[in-house]
Structure 1
């Protein structure tokens, strides 16, 4: 991969032998591997049996989980936050595991719409929840740094599963809580 980065830099007209760029291809590969580490992650390993019996059947919400991703169309940064809620069905998941699930899917090349769905479906699968709601708000550098260059634009996606989809009151409670 380093040799390909070297070719790209050379193709831009850069002198890949100059001091500031000599090690850039190696650093760029290391950075890209880190930013796409989600491919090497496994949902079961992330959850690591951190599911606990609970009589709670009320909404559990984790707000403002920051996320960093790369869009699959331009490999440019997507920076935002996720709000994730679920209705337990006899067990709850360790709080940090929700953030780790967000990180796993964010650290892949993809579109925000798919990432939002993947987070929701993964949480539903591992918890057996009665419902899951996920809202992702993000700024796409492919919109702000290039192309149309709309500096203050952001994108919001949502996925509602189970009770969050079927019961308007549950959905509204979730959306009201994330607005606070």
Structure 2
């Protein structure tokens, strides 16, 4: 856990404690601090930090949602958390893709497996011979680079190449031996 995540988790715990005891001035101060820090991460383009903000706001929102008869004041803070979560989600969705230069060598094998069409993680493992851990580790990198999109399908997630353009594979020493993939 990063220092930021630990600090935000403490901030979230303080917010929830203030709501439980009905201390609305403290709850509002904690919410304001959370919103200001999220805004700073958005303006600073700190996409990794936005993922932390998304987790913390979801955690606090869920905890407040599960309270028995929370009352109007708690519902107001719940709405504010929901608004903050929407803003963070919008900022995360508009984060520019990461550079393909940072991709691991297993990326080429996964991208080649996806050339034939959408696949689940077990199907990618079977097609590439990589371990489930390797495939599970590279897929978030490929999504962040804007090369792969994913969607839920029951208990599994389906992955496919993002359409449009030519994908540059970062290293010619990849397992597939290819240096370019044409995505159509």
Question: Is the shorter-chain TM-score for this pair beyond 0.5, marking a shared fold?
Answer: no
- Structure having the higher helix fraction is 2
- Structure having the higher strand fraction is 1
Larger radius of gyration: 2
Q: Relative contact order (C-alpha < 8 Å, sep 6+): which is higher?
A: 1
